[in-house]
Amino acid sequence: MTDNNSPQSAKSSLDNPDEVNRRQALIRASARLFREKGYDATTVRDIAAAVGMRSGSPFYHFKNKQEILKAVMEEGLHQGFERTVAALAKATTVQARFRALVRTQYGILHDEGSEFIAVLLYDWRSLPPEYMQEINRVKDHYDALWQETLRDMLQAGLLGAHADPGQAFATDEKMARLMVMGAINFTVTWYKQKTQPEQMDLDALADATVRFFMRSTKI
């Protein structure tokens, strides 16, 4: 007879497609509720109800609500990384890579069902330090995709009014990433998907952002 709390039982649950699906359903529901209500105002009971589970069932998959929050952030970063890699693979110039990064980030933030990164932006400080460290390790891989393209743009004099190929780039590319991504990520506070003819869709918003930051917009 197998103890339900044994490592073997835990591993079996992870290998069970039904349990994996339930865990993913919890993560998706949590992301939506954290975005709509806020992390602090969302209870584990709310999350369980959203997926038709009993109030204690989420604890079969997660130790506590903070671990659910970490899983939401990890899911967003993994999805974002995959989408960004796929978008960059289609770009043949550094300008096209920059436009692909910008447009993909807007999609990650604003496409239907894309609550994960917005939760990361809003609820980062709700994680304990050990979880923050784990998220930072995942985030570093995601940020590296941006910094590689921004470094190439700086070296080519394509980013910013005072781009200087003679400068040291280690600090500049990080600053460029923080400024560009900061501007894009802040749109979660004001941008609404196009509902009126005069409003920008995400393609138009991406094009406007590229024109603002890039010295040459020929892609």
Q: In this structure, what CATH number is given to the domain that contains residue 71? A: 1.10.357.10
Are 91 and 114 within one domain?
yes
Three-state secondary structure call for residue 61 = coil
Could you write out the three-class secondary structure of 4-50? Answer: CCCHHHHHHHHHCHHHHHHHHHHHHHHHHHHHHHCCCCCCHHHHHHH
Q: Are residues 144 and 73 in the same domain?
A: yes
On whether the CB atoms of residues 116 and 79 are closer than 8 A, the answer is yes
Q: Clarify whether residues 76 and 33 are in a common domain.
A: no
Query: Number of folded domains in the chain?
Result: 2
Assessment of whether the complete model's pTM goes beyond 0.85? no
For residue 116, the model assigns a pLDDT of 87
Q: Bridge-partner residues for 159, per DSSP?
A: 214
- Residue 218 falls inside a structural domain: no
> What confidence score (pLDDT) does residue 194 get?
63
Q: Two tokens at 155?
A: 């070296």
Residues 11 and 115 in one domain: no
Give domain status of residue 170, yes or no.
yes
Residues 172 and 88 in one domain: yes
- Helix (H/G/I), strand (E/B), else coil: 198: coil
Regarding whether 38 and 131 lie in a shared domain, the answer is no
**118 and 103 share a domain?**
yes
Which CATH number do you get for residue 22? 1.10.10.60
Q: Is residue 69 part of a domain?
A: yes
> What integer pLDDT is reported at residue 192 of this predicted model?
80
Q: In this structure, are 199 and 145 located in the same domain?
A: yes
Are residue 55 and residue 80 in the same domain, yes or no? no
In a domain, 48, yes or no: yes
219 belongs to a structural domain? no
Q: Is residue 162 part of a domain?
A: yes
CB 31 within 8 A of CB 47: no
Sequential pLDDT tens for the chain (219 residues) = 333 443 343 444 455 666 678 889 999 999 999 988 989 999 999 999 998 888 888 888 899 999 999 999 999 999 999 999 999 999 999 999 999 999 999 999 998 877 888 888 888 889 999 999 999 999 999 999 999 999 998 888 888 765 555 555 545 888 889 999 999 999 988 888 766 566 788 999 999 999 999 886 454
- Residues 31 and 113 occupy one common structural domain: no
Instruction: State which residues form the domain around 199.
Output: 65-213
Q: Are residues 94 and 3 in the same domain?
A: no
Crossing angle (nearest 10°) for helices 17-37 and 65-89 = 100
Residues 14 and 122 in one domain: no
